[in-house]
Amino acid sequence: MEKFMQIALQLAAKYKGQTSPNPAVGAVVVKNNQIVAQTAHQKAGEMHAEALALQKAGEKAAGADLYVTLEPCCHYGKTPPCTKAIIAAGIKRVFVAMPDPNPLVNGKGIAELRQHNIEVKVGLAKAAAEKLNEDFCFFQIQKRPFVTMKAAISLDGKIATFTHDSKWISNQQSREYVHQLRKQNDAILLGKNTFLQDNPRLNVRYVPTRKQPHKILLCPNPQKYIPKILVSNLYSTLQNNKIFIVHDKKHSSKLSKYDKIEFVPVSYQNGRLNLPEALQKISHISSIQSILLEGGSQVYTSFYQAGLIEKLQLFIAPFFIGNRGVPLFTDLTYPSISQIPKLIDTQITKIDSDVLFSGYFKGGR
């Protein structure tokens, strides 16, 4: 049984980030201990994994088992309820890795299947399923985007030299991994200084993708920088995505409309944009559920101090930059080690000459 759910999880993982705002879901139809159909949800608006797997299985679905990584939906959206398709197909048993935290489902799909005398077992490979869709689950519960901080640093914790040169701290393999992270997130966020210094593209390269992530730029006074933005790599590489510019709302009346640019006015206090307000507004006007932070120091520090970072992906290169280099954080101050919040569920991965340190933030900052 476990092996069939693992196959479903692997299928779902292939489309991670491509199905948003829907979760990544895989489904496997098994009869007489043999797989008769396997597939995954591939794009929002298209058939869900369960319905697609049942369609592929055809008549063989009658009396079979269905393994699915997330509770089947039971409501009408862009596609019909998967529970109806499961019942109509004559499935005998359904193995569900985890309940769907979406309030429209959240146990209702499981209950409907049981009401139609279909045996439902919940919890097989639950931890792996929750990790696969950690951003979707977080958004459904917390009602704000799941934020991952990604950075590349030297052994002494610098993200650039004193001349702001950062190309390249991480190696080629690490950079390719970063593009996989970009593919899996709905948006990439950076600050004005990093934009001006690096003129980044912030798009997915190296790996195939069906869509590009949105781009979020923190820029208190965008009117001053619009000419640079319109000729930047950030803007010229837009495809089926947008740039969301978070700015001080006092400048709203001076802004014009531009193709593929969405202005997000927020309050501005103590020299900083209101980040919780920004995330709330962005999630309200878009389908963004996950954000990858890509710099720089002030952005990392502001998000960290606001308690808005859920996950860390830190690439560490095997060299020193020196004390004049640009630090990862700007003004964190802790009087004692005991007061510093610790990351949990940490993991270390070797990527050629680099080391990837990953973990999760919990509790106060």
Q: Per-residue pLDDT tens for 177-192?
A: 999 999 999 999 999 9
Angle of the 49-57 helix axis to the 2-13 helix axis, nearest 10: 120
pLDDT at 115: 96
Question: Tell me: the pLDDT tens digits for 188-239?
Answer: 999 999 999 999 999 999 999 989 999 999 999 999 999 999 999 999 999 9
**Spatial distance between the Cα atoms of 209 and 184, rounded to a whole number of angstroms:** 10
**Spatial distance between the Cα atoms of 289 and 145, rounded to a whole number of angstroms:** 4
Which residues belong to the active site?
A: 50
In the sheet that holds 119-122, the strands lie side by side as: 34-40, 26-31, 65-68, 93-96, 119-122
Tokens of 302: 């502001």
Question: Tell me: the pLDDT tens digits for 62-80?
Answer: 999 999 999 999 988 778 8
Confidence of residue 364 (pLDDT cuts 50, 70, 90): very low
Question: Tell me: the pLDDT tens digits for 293-351?
Answer: 998 899 999 999 999 999 999 999 999 999 999 999 998 889 999 989 899 999 999 99
Which residues lie below 8 Å from residue 242, measured CB to CB, with a gap of 6+?
214, 215, 260, 261, 262, 286
More confident residue, 240 or 70: 70
Residue 325, number of CB atoms within 10 A of its CB: 21
pLDDT at 1: 74
**Spatial distance between the Cα atoms of 231 and 226, rounded to a whole number of angstroms:** 9
Q: What H or E segment, with its residue span, contains residue 122?
A: strand 119-122
pLDDT at 316: 98
Whole-number mean pLDDT of the chain?
Answer: 94
Question: Tell me: the pLDDT tens digits for 98-111?
Answer: 999 999 999 999 99
pLDDT at 191: 95
pLDDT at 194: 93
Which residues lie below 8 Å from residue 47, measured CB to CB, with a gap of 6+?
41, 55, 79
More confident residue, 295 or 115: 115
Entry pTM: 0.93
